[in-house]
Amino acid sequence: GYFHQRVSECLYSSKDLQGIEFIDSYVFNKVEDIRFNSTVGKYVGYTEHGVKNAEAWNSDAAFLAQERGQLERFCKHNAELHY
């Protein structure tokens, strides 16, 4: 069988909301293929398949805007629970 995993996480480096980073990783067979990092603001591919997906996903403005909004909707909204 195959192993597929998606991990979305918020990294909090300080108590103020400016130090939050949203990471959305896609893993296939224990190898990270592609990652969205809110600091970078786009998808980055780490394998041949991931690079192709990153190019496609980064060219879709609506899809990219939705992912960029996760920092506000998911991370900042739940920051109080983290602390």
Residues 27-45 have pLDDT tens digits of 999 999 999 999 999 999 9
CATH of the domain at 61: 3.10.320.10
Q: Alpha carbon of 40 to those of 8, 17, 49, 64, 80: distances in Å?
A: 15, 17, 20, 12, 24
Give the count of domains, the chain: 1
pLDDT band per the 50, 70, 90 thresholds, residue 83: low
Burial grade of 61 (CB within 10 A; 0-12, 13-18, 19 or more): exposed
What pTM was estimated for this model as a whole?
Answer: 0.84
Percent of the chain with pLDDT over 90: 70
Show the domain range for 39: 4-82
- Residue 81 DSSP class: H
Tokens of 64: 């990219």
